[in-house]
Amino acid sequence: MTVEQMEAEEEKVISPADLFRKWEQQQWRLSDLRPADDRADWQAMGGYGRGELETMISGFVFGEAAVSATLSPLADAAPSLDAQQYLCTQIADEARHTRFFADYLSQVRGGEESREEVIAEAWSGSADAVSSIFDEGLRLRTGRLREAPDDRRAWYTAVTFYHLMAEGVLAMSVLGSMLSMVRQLRGRLAVLDTGLRNVIRDESRHMAFGMYAAREGVNTGHRQAVLQAILDAVPQVVPALVAPERRLPGTSLPPMRAVIAAQHERRYAGARRTLLRRMELIGLAEATEEAGWLWDRARKEAFSTYESLHGAPHPVDDAAS
């Protein structure tokens, strides 16, 4: 499933029971993929492209490991049996994604690192902004559910932060960028291409559940909890997407700087559109202006942080001036 097809699916209200059936029909096996087959293509890539993909894949090793470790309270406290059983399938998905991305990095680098070593490296190297979402943010919200599993407000707050913001806006934006980069290689990194498509298909089910749950929350007296979860997450998601602490490679060369600026602007603008569209679809259209304003302010602050850390404006900010 492409990112575009996944977005079209969002307009449909799919029940947890139907999502469970989709999960049964859309299985894939790690044993069918051989990441080592991509090693020659990986080693032959230019430094910039390989570095960008490695950074994004490492981010997913961390993110998928974090979500697989924090999802169970959402399943335990789910408001229906169908929702609980669907969320159990998602836990299996997240574990499979962690293993795929960690094994992929290990194998294309040469196969000398264990899966555990790659995961540990990703955890220790994760940016503060990303860690604040996928570690502290998820643990805080799901921890409240562990303490009060009958608190419906806490459940809708957690599922909105989890599915709509951490996964739906941040993770899916990066997955789309990764898939776009791999497509441009025209047949190279075929294993990564297949794996990404499998992960995106899984994530489409996760996003569909998030949309179902958020709509349900808005329509059953928990509108403010859903809205506040979104507004609270925006100032966290944007700096995680921009990652101002990482100086973008290749930006000292003017032609490359323009290409990098355009690439990152598409990612940021696409994520913003995704957020506002999803807010409209779940019944929060009247709050999109406020969310857009928060997004723009957070992006400006992230660009300012980038410039203060690296002594040069962020390429996107520079191109716009």
pLDDT tens readout for residues 32-50: 999 999 999 999 988 878 9
Provide, rounded to the nearest whole percent, the portion of the chain with pLDDT above 70: 94
The three-class DSSP label of residue 11 is coil
Q: Above 60 in pLDDT, residue 101?
A: yes
Region 220-235: mean pLDDT is 96
Band (247; pLDDT cuts 50, 70, 90): confident
Region 174-195: mean pLDDT is 92
Structure-token match 């643990």, residue found: 139
pLDDT at residue 275 in the model:
95
Q: Are 183 and 193 in contact (CB under 8 A)?
A: yes
pLDDT at residue 290 in the model:
98
Rounded to 10 deg, the angle between the 223-242 and 152-159 helix axes is 30
- What secondary structure letter does DSSP report for 248? P
Please report, for the domain that includes residue 70, its CATH number.
1.10.620.20
pLDDT tens readout for residues 115-173: 999 999 988 877 777 888 887 888 899 999 999 999 999 999 999 999 999 999 999 99
**Burial of residue 192, with CB atoms counted within 10 A of its CB: 0-12 exposed, 13-18 middle, 19 or more buried:** buried
Which token pair is 140? 């805080």
Q: Say how many domains are in the chain.
A: 1
pTM of the predicted model as reported, rounded to 2 decimal places: 0.91
The CA distance from 220 to 10, in Å, is: 20
Which token pair is 289? 């202006």
**Burial of residue 252, with CB atoms counted within 10 A of its CB: 0-12 exposed, 13-18 middle, 19 or more buried:** exposed
The CA distance from 149 to 216, in Å, is: 18
Residue 93, CA distances (Å) to 56, 115, 168 in order: 19, 17, 15
What amino acid is encoded at 109 in this protein?
Answer: R
Question: Which range marks the domain in which residue 140 is found?
Answer: 3-320
Which token pair is 159? 């599922």
Q: Are 283 and 218 in contact (CB under 8 A)?
A: yes
Instruction: Give residues with Cβ within 8 angstroms of 93, minimum separation 6.
Output: 23, 202, 205, 206
